Amino acid sequence: MAAFGSSTQAIPDTGEVPRHVAIIMDGNGRWARKRFLPRVAGHKRGVEVLRRVIQACVERGIEYLTVFAFSSENWRRPTEEVSFLMNLFVSALTEEVARLHENGIRLKIVGDLSRFEPRLRELIAEGERTTAGNGRLTLTIAANYGGRWDILQACNRLARALPEKCGEWSESDLTPFLAMAHAPEPDLFIRTGGEQRISNFMIWQLAYAELYFTDRLWPEFDARTLDAAIASYRRRERRFGRTSEQLQGGDAGALPEAAATQTQDA
Ligand code: IPE
Ligand code: IPE
Ligand code: MG
């Protein structure tokens, strides 16, 4: 059932350009504050930046872009900021879906959508439906998303789907139920805004991602910053548990026979 392998089970194919880039777009509030603007001005600017970054990803042949727009913890912010963000989400979907569709982009939203207003939920469903057949780039927006929420909802759905195997579930039983089942695991993770933490983003899928942190605030992010992150990614040696010598010698470093049989995709 799983469309994509797991980096802890098999060694994924990696290329010059990351196939999947995941970004925590952080620093909007600080960007605005530096300019004596209300924090929300930073969020507004952040949407414009995202539009340009999507374009840059398409131009570079990146197949999947996943961005963290609103975390399950962001409800703790002042009510006015939360409602501004919700309205911004509505207006961005209203204005951008047609453009995404014209550019061959498939839109996916992941997160616990049950807490959103019906109007927003409708726009999300409509946006996903309209763009479902596109294949140039898959843009996933994580909204009211939390990595722990995702793992738990996947476990609960698996428990209902496969109760007879309870106690013996494997990674490949679980992964189809994760919210990101439509995408391979991220190759490159970027966080803007200077913090060096994951903040409950894709904690399952980031197991073997290359991490890149920049002090640049999200509203200042551009194609050049993206290229710097990709250049850094290219310099990394992705070992997936193997030794450097194995990689140099072209040894795939396959799992021993017995282990391989146990962990192969069911
Ligand atoms: C990220 O920017 C956007 C959201 C979390 C919605 P922030 O709003 O966290 O900006 P800072 O970190 O306060 O500067
Ligand atoms: C993470 O940013 C979530 C988003 C960018 C949507 P936060 O600004 O909420 O993260 P913390 O609270 O500083 O870790
Ligand atoms: Mg922040």
Rounded CA-CA distance 199/65 in Å is: 18
With a 6 Å cutoff on the Cβ, whether 117 touches ligand 2 is no
Residue 263 pLDDT grade (very low, low, confident, very high; cuts 50, 70, 90) = very low
- What is the pLDDT confidence band of residue 254, given thresholds at 50, 70 and 90? low
Distance, CA 190 to ligand 3 centroid (Å)? 14
The predicted-structure confidence for 129-152, as pLDDT tens digits, reads as follows 999 999 999 999 999 999 999 999
pLDDT at 178 over 90: yes
Average pLDDT rounded to a whole number, residues 232-243: 92
Q: For ligand 2, pick from 30, 39, 74, 189 the residue to mutate: most ligand atoms within 8 Å of CB.
A: 74
Q: What distance, in Å, lies between the first and last C-alpha atoms of the chain?
A: 8
pLDDT of residue 11: 86
* Average pLDDT value for the chain: 93
Which residues neighbour 5 within 8 Å (Cβ) at sequence distance 6 or greater?
12, 184, 265
Residue type, 139: L
In contact, 31 and 44? CB cutoff 8 Å: no
**218 Cβ inside 6 Å of ligand 2:** no
DSSP 197: -
pLDDT in tens, 3-34: 688 898 888 888 899 999 999 999 999 999 99
Q: Which two tokens stand for residue 36?
A: 């004596």
Residue 114 has pLDDT above 60, yes or no: yes
CATH number of 20-234: 3.40.1180.10
Mean per-residue pLDDT for 251-262?
52
Amino acid at 187: D
Kindly state if the Cβ of 199 falls inside 6 Å of ligand 2: yes
Helix, strand, coil content of the chain in percent (nearest 5): 45, 15, 40
pLDDT at site 3: 61
Can you spell out the DSSP letters for 160-195? HH-GGGTT---HHHHGGGSTTTTSPPPSEEEE-SS-
Query: For 115-140, what is the mean pLDDT?
Result: 98
Q: What is the mean pLDDT of residues 58-63?
A: 98
